[in-house]
């Protein structure tokens, strides 16, 4: 065996902690965006299963998008005050609660509550504001 090969194989590869945080942030952004957008995919199924109109389902999507946009500036400030990790965990909990609660949906008001309000507010915290905060703190 060549001596340089032995030296190369013994070197320890170290990854900066910021890259790990960035990978977790990407996963959170990806999952939250997918959950927020899933109603567009299952709209026909919801129409057939619950006999809801497209206007009813689109109303929940509209509330979701409204809260998604309105929550971001406030959540950005909360991330500055209480830390990105704490606020992100709360927002991931909200998105999980909204998605999990949708299993029990039977009425259209539950769609508005779970997907419109809870997922909308929660996905606002797992959006570009979180990505900006993580990148700004992790990479200088």
How many C-beta atoms surround the C-beta of residue 34 within 10 A? 11
Confidence of residue 60 (pLDDT cuts 50, 70, 90): very high
Q: Is residue 5 part of a domain?
A: no
- Taking alpha carbons only, the member of 39, 48, 54 closest to residue 102 is 39
Placement of tokens 């899933």 in the chain: 38
- Taking alpha carbons only, the member of 42, 5, 32 closest to residue 128 is 32
Q: Is residue 1 part of a domain?
A: no
Q: Could you read off the pLDDT of 84-115 as tens digits, one per residue?
A: 889 888 998 999 999 999 999 999 999 999 99
Work out how many domains the chain is built from and give that number.
Answer: 1
Q: Is residue 127 part of a domain?
A: yes
Q: Is 81 helix (H, G, I), strand (E, B) or coil?
A: helix
Q: Is residue 91 part of a domain?
A: yes
Write out the residue range of the structural domain in which residue 116 sits.
16-138
Q: Is residue 4 part of a domain?
A: no
Q: Is residue 10 part of a domain?
A: no
Q: Is residue 6 part of a domain?
A: no
């Amino acid at each position: 065996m060549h001596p340089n090969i032995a030296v190369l194989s013994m070197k320890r590869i170290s990854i900066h902690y910021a890259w790990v945080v960035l990978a977790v942030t990407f996963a959170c952004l990806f999952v939250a965006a997918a959950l927020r957008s899933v109603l567009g995919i299952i709209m026909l199924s919801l129409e057939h299963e619950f006999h809801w109109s497209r206007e009813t389902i689109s109303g929940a999507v509209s509330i979701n998008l409204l809260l998604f946009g309105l929550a971001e500036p406030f959540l950005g400030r909360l991330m500055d005050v209480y830390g990105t990790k704490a606020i992100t965990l709360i927002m991931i909990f909200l998105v999980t609660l909204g998605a999990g609660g949708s299993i029990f949906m039977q009425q259209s008001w539950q769609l508005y509550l779970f997907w419109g309000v809870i997922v909308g507010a929660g996905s606002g915290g797992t959006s570009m504001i979180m990505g900006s905060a993580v990148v700004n703190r992790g990479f200088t």
